[in-house]
Amino acid sequence: MDKIIIQGGVPLSGSIEASGAKNAALPLLAAAILVDGPVTYRRIPHLRDISTMMTLLAWQGADVEYDDQHCLHVDTRPASKSEAPYELVKTMRASSLVLGPLLARFGQARVSLPGGCAIGARPIDMHLKGLEAMGASIEVEQGDIVARAAKGLSGAIISFDQVTVTGTENLMMAAVLAKGTTVLDNAAREPEIVNLAESLRGLGADIEGDGTNRIVIQGVERLEAGEMTTIADRIETATYLAAGLITGGDVTVTNVDPYALEAFLARVKDTGALVECGPDFVRCKAQGRLKAVDIHTLPHPGFPTDLQAQFMAMMTLAEGTSVVRETIFENRFMHVQELARMGADISLDGNTAVVHGCARISGAPVMATDLRASASLVLAGLAAEGETTVSRVYHIDRGYERIEEKLGKLGARIERHSISENWMKGAQLNA
């Protein structure tokens, strides 16, 4: 079990390159199930969730391998298993993304109900209602979703009760090989949705309207072999920009689309920081103490829920009082009690947090509870006086590629320490 140790108080500065986006790469990998030929993937991040998806595809019988150019090659033609068992997907929420592709290809699928971070229920009922509208029968057996469509899927008009990113992706992929036309109303508009649609079009899919709340898919008989390239990780990018700001530094992230960060950067400007954008870079520079700013999480193009914890960490040291409202997930304030251990002054009332900015916070042992919460604790540790130890960092590894190396390039005093399982067992026996 690893932990990250940070000696805080160093302003970060410099430039780093954004990694490929985990939230874009996972549906792209799931889409390989639909393709009648090999797919070459570029800019796939090396993350725990990505490894899990690759292992799942290989278990199903696909050929999965990296080449010496750091490209991933996936050929699902040899795959014969239409399942995603619990032991393979228990740590990954995105496991549900294979349901639609498996059902479209094999006419049946058995997918274990997903696991992952405990930040909310994230029900997949809208996925299942959509597949039923397309002609599938759905049952739940011993914790598995069992879907059948012996005669194949047919196009349908599907209106989501609320915006769902994975639901939009899942049904869009299922509809690609369905008979007729499928319309997804109240669809998610995230850049990752657009990345998936553009990639599928490159392989022969007929999709229109991605990036809007109405997506129209005309089913085709097959998808051809080709390439898919993952977009930059906008959440990782904003996290590193926030690391610069919370430490009073000056950080630039390259190979990224600034437009995808519009809502975040608008709030950063309100703090009084300098923001500069170019065609493929973003720079954020602190200009004195940050000013308190309110945020309200919303589906894209609103403020991302995946950046709420990181922005809150920034606000713990801002001048004034900020109000943070979380409207996407009901359990996404678990980082608050850990920030409080470092001296942050935060009060909670339902889905609202009130953050009273402090002049300083102090290093402390803290525990990560989910992916983005863990990032907020790292940010706080970078700005805190003294030493901060972040445990349970396997959460971080689900979404940040070599976080200690990238922050180290910016001047952070940060190290990863590993505790061997044998040592832990010995400690337990001696306790």
- Catalytically active residues are 117
Amino acid of residue 41: Y
d(CA 173, CA 152): 14
CA torsion angle for 79, 81, 86, 91 (degrees, to 10)? Answer: 20
What ranges in 247-367 are assigned the alpha helix state H?
262-270, 308-315, 336-341
CA–CA distance from 213 to each of 131, 193, 209, 226 (Å)? 19, 11, 8, 28
Beta strands in 180-332 (DSSP E): 181-185, 206-208, 214-218, 226-229, 250-254, 274-278, 281-285, 295-296, 321-325
Rg, C-alpha atoms of the chain = 22
Q: From edge to edge, which strands make up the β-sheet containing 39-42?
A: 63-66, 72-75, 39-42, 226-229
Diameter of the chain measured on Cα atoms: 65
- What is the three-class DSSP state of 123? coil
CA–CA distance from 173 to each of 167, 209, 223 (Å)? 10, 14, 11
